[in-house]
Amino acid sequence: MPSRSQTKATLFVTLLISLFTLLFGEYFTAEPVTLTSTKSNNLPLVFDKAQVVDVVDGDTIKVKALDTSPEFVTTPTYVVRLIGIDAPETHKPNAPKECYGEEATEYLGNLILGKTVTLKKDKSETDKYNRLLRYVYLDDVFVNEALVQNGFAKAKAYKPDISMHDVLDASQGLAIQKSAGMWGNCAP
């Protein structure tokens, strides 16, 4: 038979869990994306909403998760590679900056820096550089497509993450037709 102190402890824990569920239960009812651990962190991560804290280049950003699991006290920064696109390089070692790379970086920064975005996974979690691979949405704007449609990136299929390739490829066709961005300003 449990002692009186054990019964009180059990009651206290039950009340605490009930209070926690009542106060924060709404945060655990959605179906967020589950991410694998990163090299620097072995804990599993769960989030799909993030704040963009830096724009590395025209197809790579840094984010902080907004809806992480409760076990995290601090939110780490994650590097996200926008999938299905390839923007001109600006940071490739031993190589010159590519035409329209700076413009692509500036466009992406103006569009999403400091804003809350939604991250959507295709098939892969990360690439060989341990960057999260995601489609990025700002409200109704499919950011990956906006970059392609305005000539700041090319549509590029990276298997197995190709579920949006047809959309991105069609947007590239339109960008080429109207000589948008790199298509009107860079030599082939």
Instruction: Report pLDDT digits (tens) over 10-65.
Output: 555 444 455 444 444 443 333 344 444 344 433 345 678 999 999 999 999 999 98
> What is the tens place of the pLDDT at every residue in 108-121?
999 999 999 999 99
69 token code pair:
């699991």
User: Which one is catalytic: 103, 125, 131, 134?
Assistant: 131
188 pLDDT band (50/70/90 cuts)? Answer: confident
188 token code pair:
């082939």
pTM of the predicted model as reported, rounded to 2 decimal places: 0.74
The whole-number pLDDT of residue 187 equals 82
User: Which one is catalytic: 89, 98, 102, 106?
Assistant: 89
Establish whether 81 is a catalytic residue. yes
* Alpha carbon distances (Å) from 107 to 102, 147, 186: 9, 8, 17
Establish whether 131 is a catalytic residue. yes
* Alpha carbon distances (Å) from 118 to 5, 28, 51, 93: 47, 17, 9, 30
Identity at 100, one-letter amino acid code: Y
Q: Strand (E) positions, the chain?
A: 34-35, 45-46, 49-57, 60-65, 77-82, 85-86, 116-120, 132-138, 141-142, 154-155
